Amino acid sequence: MAYKNMIVLFDESGTPAISNDQRTDWFIGVGVAYEQSDEEVIFSRCKADFGLANSKPLKNDRITNSRAVRIAKLLADLPVSIYVSSVNTANSTFRKIIIDYECFGEKARHKFRQARKRPIAQIIHSHVLDHCLFNLITGYFDEGGRDAAFAVFIDDWSIPEKDIDISLVHRATSQYEKISSLCADFTESRLVSIAPLEMLNSDSSRKRFIDVVSSTFSRAYLKTNNQKYSREASDILQECKRAYCSDATQYSIDNMQAVMKRAFIQGLTERGR
């Protein structure tokens, strides 16, 4: 049976840290999925509002709330699926757990990989990325999508040299293993493949497109006293079911606690031998 070639674009917005950001308490990841065969039509219709043909990329500060609403209405009429994963970095439990996790990870990375500690920003980014990709791809099958192969492109992100293979290759393999087993149990369709993730390092229509989509949603996560705060664009896309938004804070907490618990149990087991 023929399968669809799907494109996934991912970008992040916010500060992936536990500092006191004056603009927002949230770090978000925005994923957009569409059929590769639709890409030319999508970009053609978005060319003006997204600045795809401009000499320079459209910057966030040039996207007014009224323009964001116009962009949302345009996206609502395009063959795309959007998923937004968010982490509340002001959550007190999250802050405590991620500090513990950073210390735990530093020891493990030094012992087993001779690598420097993984900064909190990298930890938060990876959890949001995993949560977003999993829900975006499983959402495709939940909506009745047929057999598909996914190519994933993430906006430029600083990845330590020793983590590139884990971040781009192993992540794709891990997501494939989890999602393909779910497809086998719950759907008639098949996840053909998830290619190793690729970075959007240079200016391109894909990079500009996902930058603008991310900016459109980011204003819904600003503090309410910010003049750019607005939920209108986000609400438009959620109400027409073109986009789904989810709080991934508890997912991140559970993930970190599970990893540390497994390591603790394994350590007890090995000492008991």
* 197-212 pLDDT, tens digit each: 999 988 999 999 999 9
* 111-156 pLDDT, tens digit each: 655 556 678 899 999 999 999 999 999 999 999 999 999 999 998 8
Model confidence at 268: pLDDT above 50: no
What is the rounded average pLDDT of the residues 102-115? 69
Domain ranges of the chain: 4-88+121-271
CA–CA dist 36, 15 (Å, integer) = 31
Residue 71 neighbours by CB under 8 Å, 6+ apart:
49, 50, 63, 212, 213, 216, 233
State the CATH architecture for 4-88+121-271. Answer: 2-Layer Sandwich (3.30)
What is the rounded average pLDDT of the residues 166-188? 92
In this prediction, residue 140 carries a pLDDT of 96
